[in-house]
């Protein structure tokens, strides 16, 4: 790469409120067209907005989740523009006085990405283009859905940094109950601003903005494409123009939508129908106290207190429900590694195979905990623990009972082992001789024969011990 990319993000997130931001229509994804609308959110003249306090609180939580300052004073403005998905012909947003500013998130590699601001605004409707009939239809269900917009400084220099940041934002908002962060459903959408400059330069180039990316993967591809496109322009002696572009997943390219508007194009002015949002310090502190443990804090607990490898900890926290399940299991039985291994091994394997979710399984955290406990204390083998999980997955039940019924309880009485192992060694005299001559690989084979002979209730650890002694 000949040029240094410079990237800043604007991320829109739908807030998990029960109703819309300025009316009492239900805030829910989907529904038949124009069934979740009222005179307010469909922009009828004479209606007045009523600010949803829950949305304000969630916006403040988003601020706490990203190290922002949450302000005592914030206020709403009108952003004027005409488009058929916006029946009022203006969007209510926060321009001069956003609720949160000056945050940051540290991305992989330890780099700090600064967050300029987080403001509250309303979503617009959706246009459905029917090319066959040659008409466009407007669905206003999404009008007035509460959003926050998170705006970063242009601090990113690589795709990896952007992808890590977006993943972290999605997880933190999900953990805080601010947004369900389902990118594929559009509840978290990313606009990427990107420019390039020669390496070593201090002066940023002209940027293009790529709108509404809805997966971490397409963010990466859109950036790669854009770097290539802008590099070719500069190499050819041309100039990048500031404009808004759309990424097309099927073609894997970006196309110009419109030239960039400036703030003055929108004729922002203070929204006269909504009073400013005022918080006392105490009220802000009350909201801060409601913040749950965040994913990066959980990561720290798993690695530092529980001794999990970093990769395992990341895999567990990736899905909040999965991590909650793990937390409840280790609260019941503090076998951190054993439970983690079972969950990332057998449980994940079964979930992947069946396409099910951890919230849909027939067993609970205490069942996995009990199974791990049985294995940890030597009542069953680790292999049997896996089999119990798979039985729990198929038909549920109680781990201890399953262990008994299936003969998984290990015979921890070593007295009988000696005789059986003696027989095994006699039967496999050839292998034993070669082993003693130095072919140590044969230990596994002999061990396998011994386990087979002792039956599945035998304790592999005891067999190994007895075998090792005999072979010396
Ligand atoms: P505007 O007011 O024109 O919308 P902002 O300063 O608000 O511009 O920036 C919008 C987004 O563009 C931010 O995410 C910011 O980080 C990013 N950005 C600004 N300048 C550049 C640049 N030269 N290259 C890449 N991204 C940029
Ligand atoms: Zn409404
Ligand atoms: Mg801006």
Consecutive 10-residue averages of pLDDT for the chain (472 residues):
92 98 93 94 94 98 98 98 94 98 94 98 92 89 97 97 97 97 93 96 95 93 96 94 88 82 85 97 97 96 97 96 97 96 96 94 96 93 93 94 90 75 89 89 88 77 84 82
Mutational test site, ligand 1, from 10, 154, 206, 213, max ligand atoms within 8 Å of CB:
154
Q: How far is the CA of 320 from the centre of ligand 2 (A)?
A: 31
Ligand 1 atom nearest residue 154's Cα: 16
Give the pLDDT confidence score for residue 456 in this predicted structure. 65
Residue 73 φ then ψ, to 5°: -125, 125
Ligand 1, atom 2, residue with closest C-alpha: 263
Shortest-distance ligand to the CA of residue 20: 2
**Residue whose C-alpha is closest to residue 12's, from 206, 209, 199:** 209
Give the pLDDT confidence score for residue 258 in this predicted structure. 78
98 CB under 6 A from ligand 1?
no
68 CB under 6 A from ligand 1?
no
The token duo for 310 is: 């970093």
Query: How many residues can be counted in the chain?
Result: 472
**Residue whose C-alpha is closest to residue 388's, from 456, 448, 326, 325:** 456
Q: How far is the CA of 192 from the centre of ligand 1 (A)?
A: 9
135 three-state secondary structure: strand
193 CB under 6 A from ligand 1?
yes
**Residue whose C-alpha is closest to residue 174's, from 348, 316, 292:** 292
Mutational test site, ligand 1, from 166, 193, 213, max ligand atoms within 8 Å of CB:
193
Give the pLDDT confidence score for residue 419 in this predicted structure. 81
Give the pLDDT confidence score for residue 154 in this predicted structure. 98
Shortest-distance ligand to the CA of residue 40: 2
Ligand 1, atom 3, residue with closest C-alpha: 262
146 CB under 6 A from ligand 1?
no
Ligand 1, atom 19, residue with closest C-alpha: 154
Bridge-based pairing state of the strands 112-122 and 126-130: unpaired
178 CB under 6 A from ligand 1?
no
- Is the separation of the CB atoms in 338 and 306 below 8 Å? no
Give the pLDDT confidence score for residue 470 in this predicted structure. 83
Residue 286 to residue 119: CA distance in whole angstroms: 20
Ligand 1 atom nearest residue 151's Cα: 14
Ligand 1 atom nearest residue 9's Cα: 14
Q: How far is the CA of 58 from the centre of ligand 2 (A)?
A: 20
Running DSSP on this structure, what letter comes out for residue 302?
A: I
7 CB under 6 A from ligand 1?
yes
Ligand 1 atom nearest residue 209's Cα: 12
The position carrying tokens 């030239």 is 259
Q: How far is the CA of 263 from the centre of ligand 1 (A)?
A: 12
Q: Which residues contact 202 (CB under 8 A, 6 or more apart)?
A: none
- Is the separation of the CB atoms in 137 and 117 below 8 Å? no
207 CB under 6 A from ligand 1?
yes
Q: At what angle do helices 53-65 and 281-289 cross, to 10 degrees?
A: 70
Q: How far is the CA of 139 from the centre of ligand 2 (A)?
A: 13
Residue 217 to residue 403: CA distance in whole angstroms: 44
192 CB under 6 A from ligand 1?
no
230 CB under 6 A from ligand 1?
no
């Amino acid at each position: 790469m000949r040029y240094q990319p410079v990237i800043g993000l604007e991320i829109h997130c739908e807030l998990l409120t029960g109703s819309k931001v300025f009316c009492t229509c239900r805030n829910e994804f989907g529904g038949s067209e124009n069934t979740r609308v009222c005179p307010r959110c469909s922009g009828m003249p004479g209606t007045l907005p009523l600010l949803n306090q829950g949305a304000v609180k969630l916006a403040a939580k988003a601020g706490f989740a990203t190290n922002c300052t949450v302000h005592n004073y914030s206020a709403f403005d009108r952003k004027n523009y005409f488009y058929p998905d916006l029946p009022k012909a203006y969007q209510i947003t926060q321009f001069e006085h956003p609720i949160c500013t000056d945050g940051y998130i540290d991305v992989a590699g330890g780099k700090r990405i600064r967050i300029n601001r987080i403001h509250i605004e309303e979503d617009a409707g959706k246009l459905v283009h029917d090319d066959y009939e040659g008409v466009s239809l407007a669905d206003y269900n999404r009008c007035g859905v509460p959003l926050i917009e998170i705006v970063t400084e242009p601090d990113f220099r690589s795709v990896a940094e952007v992808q890590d940041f977006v993943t972290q934002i999605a997880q933190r908002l999900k953990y805080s109950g601010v947004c369900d962060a389902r990118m594929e459903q559009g509840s978290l959408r990313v606009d990427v601003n990107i420019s390039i400059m020669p390496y070593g330069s201090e002066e940023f180039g002209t940027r293009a903005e790529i709108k509404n990316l809805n997966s971490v993967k397409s963010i990466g591809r859109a950036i790669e494409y854009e770097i290539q496109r802008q590099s070719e322009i500069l190499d050819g002696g041309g100039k990048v123009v500031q404009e808004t572009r759309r990424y097309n997943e099927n073609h894997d390219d970006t196309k110009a939508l419109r030239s960039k508007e400036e703030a003055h194009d929108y004729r922002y002015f203070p929204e006269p129908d909504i009073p400013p949002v005022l918080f006392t310090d105490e009220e802000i502190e009350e909201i801060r106290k409601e913040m749950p443990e965040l994913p990066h804090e959980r990561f720290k607990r798993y690695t530092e207190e529980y001794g999990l490898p970093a990769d395992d900890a990341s895999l567990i926290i990736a899905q909040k429900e999965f991590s909650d399940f793990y937390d409840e299991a280790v609260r019941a039985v503090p076998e951190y590694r054993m439970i983690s291994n079972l969950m990332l091994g057998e449980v994940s394997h079964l979930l992947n195979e069946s396409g099910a979710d951890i919230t849909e399984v027939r067993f609970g955290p205490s069942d996995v905990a009990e199974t791990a406990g049985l294995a940890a204390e030597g009542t069953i083998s680790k292999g049997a623990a896996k089999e119990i999980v798979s039985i729990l997955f198929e038909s549920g039940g109680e781990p201890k009972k399953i262990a008994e019924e299936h003969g998984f309880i290990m015979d921890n009485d070593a007295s009988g082992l000696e005789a059986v192992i003696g027989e095994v060694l006699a039967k496999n005299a050839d292998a034993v001789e070669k082993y003693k001559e130095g072919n140590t690989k044969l230990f596994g084979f002999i061990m396998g024969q011994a386990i087979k002979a002792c039956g599945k209730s035998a304790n592999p650890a005891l067999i190994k011990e007895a075998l090792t002694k005999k072979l010396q």
